[in-house]
Amino acid sequence: MTKHQLIGAEVSLYTGKLRCYLQYKKIPFDEVVASGEVYRDTIIARTGVRYIPVLITDDDQALQDTTEIIDYLERRYVEAPVYPSTPFQKLIALLLEVYGDEWLVIPAMHYRWNIEENKDFAVAEFGRTSVPDASAEEQLIVGKKMSGPFAGSLPVLGVSDTNTKAIETSYLGLLKELDRHFKATPFLLGTRPCIGDFGLIGPLYAHLYRDPYSGRLMQEQAPNVVAWVNRMINPDPLTGDFLPDDQVPETLMPVLQRMFREQGPVIRSTLDRVAEWASVNADGKAEQEISRAIGSHTFTVEGAEAERLVFPYCQWMWQRPYDCYQGMNEENRTTVERRLAVLPGALELLRHPVTQRVVRKNNRLLLG
Ligand SMILES: N[C@@H](CCC(=O)N[C@@H](CS)C(=O)NCC(=O)O)C(=O)O
């Protein structure tokens, strides 16, 4: 093979993240639709799990997980890195990837599956993806079946009757904040997209821009976010730069404050729950797998409380900004800590020790 293959779907959040990255980096690839057949013969057969996207590399490795795939490609395609090299920008970029990947799934899933117009669209899309050659009628039947587990995952993520209004309030607030930011700055940290932009584009493109009701909402509420989505999905490859002197625009602070307010406590609780789980379940053998979810915890969005499952994977993502902060030299750390002072809860969380690490191996999460 001379090109990489991106196996995924238009309707898929994380496929959108990787597709935008590949296009920006001008990495040659063909996109293959993750049909039922492709799931069976390639995705499950080669990765052992049922997640998309999967990248089949030009030397025939099968990689899953957008974060790992991007890191692999960053080592091979070094032009226009998406990780800033200066300490504060790098930390902020990593934080916003965690926010997009692991938190904005909540509004993305709420709007897709609780708003009838979006749901009908998504079901049809699932059908079109699974059985591309079938009739529209058959696609609808298959679409209903295939989308069932996704629609059914709302309670798992913490979307319930008690907090849908709050989720919408939070999302509309975020749109306003991002709109102000993107009015002044083309991407999060300048004229080049960073890893944080790719984290945000997943939910903000595949669901919140592309689903019809959500798309109209974004057009009405946040035209500058729409313009950013368009820059992300139709990029000028390899162009642009991060702002000089490790600058992070002031306009990002409300977004980061929102992240630490809403997701921060969930991250902290996840770290504690993983440590607790390990202390009870560790069997002392090497490479012990940790379950995808380990119990549940409560969380608060805009004053509304709900329950969601505890995902150790969220800790794996958090370890990236945590390691970035913990690995800083004295001088950088002092400067960064001063700048983090405007983000309540940020420093406490970055200092909260990760006592039980988790690692990914062969697409499984293991105790480290
Ligand atoms: N962190 C993973 C997440 C991948 C993921 O959750 N993909 C969704 C589709 S957008 C999926 O395949 N979900 C199947 C499931 O949750 O069982 C990544 O970045 O690739």
| Residue 268: exposure state from Cβ atoms within 10 A (0-12, 13-18, ≥19) | middle
* Residue among 99, 142, 139 nearest 252 (CA): 99
CA atoms 4, 5, 11, 15: torsion sign: negative
Tokens found for residue 224: 């500058």
Distance 254 CA to ligand 1 centre (A): 28
CA-to-CA separations, 185 to 90, 189, 227, in angstroms, rounded: 17, 7, 11
User: From CA 243, how far away is CA 96, in angstroms rounded?
Assistant: 17
pLDDT given for residue 282 in this prediction:
87
Which 3 state secondary structure label does DSSP give 5? Answer: strand
Residue 15 Cα: closest atom of ligand 1? 10
- Rounded distance between C-alpha atoms, residue 245 and residue 243, angstroms: 7
* CATH number for the domain formed by residue range(s) 4-76: 3.40.30.10
Q: Whose CA is nearest to atom 2 of ligand 1?
A: 65
Scored b (16 or more CB within 10 A) or e, 95-114 reads: bbbbbbbbbbbbbbbbbbbb
Q: Is 97 in the pocket of ligand 1 (CB under 6 A)?
A: no
Question: Could you confirm whether domain 87-113+160-261 is CATH 3.50.30.60?
Answer: no
> Where does residue 63 rank: exposed (0-12), middle (13-18), buried (19+ CB within 10 A)?
buried
β-pair type (364-367, 29-33):
unpaired
> Which of 76, 26, 30 lies closest to 53, judged by CA?
30
Q: Which of 52, 72, 147 to mutate to test the pocket of ligand 1 (most atoms within 8 A of CB)?
A: 52
Domain pair 4-76 / 87-113+160-261, same fold: no
Query: Given this model, what pLDDT does residue 286 score?
Result: 83
Testing ligand 1's pocket by substitution, the residue of 38, 51, 125, 201 carrying the most ligand atoms inside 8 A of its CB is 51
For ligand 1, say whether the CB of 66 is within 6 Å of any of its atoms.
Answer: yes
| Nearest alpha carbon, ligand 1 atom 5 | 51
Sequence spans of domains, the chain: 4-76, 87-113+160-261, 263-367
Give 171-221 as a DSSP string. Answer: HHHHHHHHHHHHHH-SBTTBSS--HHHHHHHIIIIIITTTSHHHHHHHHHH
What are the mean pLDDT values of the chain's consecutive 10-residue runs (368 residues total)?
A: 93 98 98 96 97 98 98 98 98 99 98 97 95 94 93 96 97 98 98 99 98 98 98 98 98 98 98 97 89 97 98 98 98 98 98 97 96
